[in-house]
Structure 1
Amino acid sequence: MLFAFLCKDKPGHLQVRLDTRPAHVEHLTALNAAGTLKFAGPFLGEDGKPTGSLVVVEAADLAAAEKIAADDPYAKAGLFESVQVKAWNWVFNNPANA
């Protein structure tokens, strides 16, 4: 099952994001290599700077997805004001359905 992580950065925490980015990218790279990561990227503010993240993973259930979200270095560094983990159905342009 697919799960979307809707992550909102804490205001004024851009430097935390920048400092933690290498570990975050390493984490996502490992998830990608395992076939768990489907796609990911930052939300951008009007100034073009990141304000949060969208990450979609495949996990057995909500608890497994929540663990993946909690293990993200951004989450561990306290970057996020909020994280919603929601089951998601990829209908359009899903490469698995091509």
Structure 2
Amino acid sequence: MLFVVLCEDKPGALDVRMENRPKHVDFLKGLGATLKLAGPFLGVDDKPVGSMLVLEAESADAAAEIAAGDPYALAGLFESVQVRRWNWTINNPDA
């Protein structure tokens, strides 16, 4: 099953994001095929203000557990995190 993890950064936390970015990128690369896609949301100034991940996991709880291990989450970057089941219907390379 696929899950989208939607993360909103705390206001004024760009420094936290940038300090933890190398560990975050390594974490994502280490997820292998579990991670389908990922990237930041951008504010009007084109600076990151949040993140979106699409994970393959057995359940929403399993996806949330993976997301909780992200160095960004561990550093307290996020104001909120949502995990939602997702059905990739258009341009899905596995369909």
Task: Report TM bin, short chain.
Answer: over 0.9
> Of 63, 66, 71, which residue of structure 2 is paired with 1:65?
63
Q: CA RMSD in A?
A: 0.5
- Partner AA of 2:80 in structure 1: S
Unaligned segments of structure 1, at least 5 residues: none
Alpha-carbon shift at residue 63 of structure 1 (Å): 1.2
Kindly report structure 1 stretches of 4+ aligned residues shifted beyond 3 Å: none
Unaligned segments of structure 2, at least 5 residues: none
Residue in structure 2 matched with residue 76 of structure 1 by the alignment: 74
Residue in structure 2 matched with residue 27 of structure 1 by the alignment: 27
Alpha-carbon shift at residue 48 of structure 1 (Å): 0.3
Between the two proteins, the alignment pairs up a number of residues equal to 95
- Identical counterparts, % of pairs: 62
Residue in structure 1 matched with residue 3 of structure 2 by the alignment: 3
What's the TM-score once normalised by structure 2's chain length?
0.98
Q: Deviations over 1:49-96 (max 9, x none)?
A: 000001000001111111001011000000000000011111111111
